């Protein structure tokens, strides 16, 4: 038996009034004679020993269950700590997502504005080209000298 369990058993026996229990779990030497009181004490000690053996088995079972529960508790603590870290990381990512979405909106508006400006610029270039073409169509024929055919000539 483990040392602490032996001490526990000895304390229980002392509390119940049994004084003939040695530390090495060997019964104390009985005085000679077949006294009925000794037989009763022996039967009580045997019953007490059976009870203590049951308690010892229960104690071992409870120790095993305690180790299992401690392992489970440490696993739960790790998981819950990880869940809290994941929640915090999720909130940070949501904030970053909102910031990036607003940047995308600003850049989209800027692109649309530049596209509209570019379209207006090309319309202006087209209008200038048409105007210059009309001017050239008017002035180029006047730059050539005309031959005058005179019938009198």
Tens-place pLDDT, residues 130-149: 999 999 988 888 887 766 66
The pLDDT assigned to 4 comes to 66
pLDDT recorded at residue 118 = 85
| Mean pLDDT within 31-45 | 81
pLDDT in tens, 85-112: 889 999 999 999 999 999 999 999 999 9
CB 1 within 8 A of CB 55: no
More confident residue, 36 or 150: 36
Contacts (Cβ under 8 Å, ≥6 apart) of 122: none
Q: How far is CA 4 from CA 7, 37, 38, 59, in A?
A: 5, 31, 29, 11
Percent of the chain at pLDDT exceeding 90: 50
Q: What is the mean pLDDT of residues 49-70?
A: 94
Cα–Cα distance, 32 to 101 (Å, whole number): 98
Q: Which residue has the higher pLDDT, 22 or 96?
A: 96
Sign of CA dihedral 90, 91, 96, 98: positive
Q: In this structure, are residues 44 and 36 in contact, taking their beta carbons and an 8 Å threshold?
A: no
- Tell me what pLDDT residue 21 has: 46
Could you tell me which of 121, 124, 101 has the C-alpha nearest to residue 113?
A: 121
Instruction: Please report which residue ranges of the chain form alpha helices under DSSP H.
Output: 3-15, 36-143
**Token duo for residue 65:** 């269950």
**How many Cβ atoms sit within 10 Å of the Cβ of residue 141?**
9
Angle subtended by helix axes 36-143 and 3-15, to nearest 10: 130
At residue 28, does pLDDT exceed 70? no
Range of lowest pLDDT (67-71, 87-91, 125-129, 139-143): 139-143
């Amino acid at each position: 038996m483990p040392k602490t369990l032996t001490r526990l058993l000895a304390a229980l026996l002392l509390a119940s009034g049994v004084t003939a229990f040695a530390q090495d779990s060997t019964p104390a030497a009985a005085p000679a004679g077949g006294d009925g009181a000794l037989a009763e004490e022996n039967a009580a000690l045997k019953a007490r020993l059976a009870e203590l053996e049951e308690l010892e088995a229960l104690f071992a079972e409870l120790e095993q269950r305690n180790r299992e529960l401690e392992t489970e508790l440490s696993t739960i603590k790790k998981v819950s700590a990880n869940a809290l870290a994941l929640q915090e990381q999720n909130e940070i990512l949501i904030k970053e997502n909102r910031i990036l979405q607003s940047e995308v909106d600003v850049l989209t508006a800027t692109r649309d504005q530049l596209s509209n400006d570019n379209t207006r610029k090309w319309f202006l270039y087209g209008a200038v080209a048409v105007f210059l073409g009309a001017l050239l169509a008017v002035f180029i024929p006047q730059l050539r000298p005309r031959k005058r055919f005179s019938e009198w000539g």
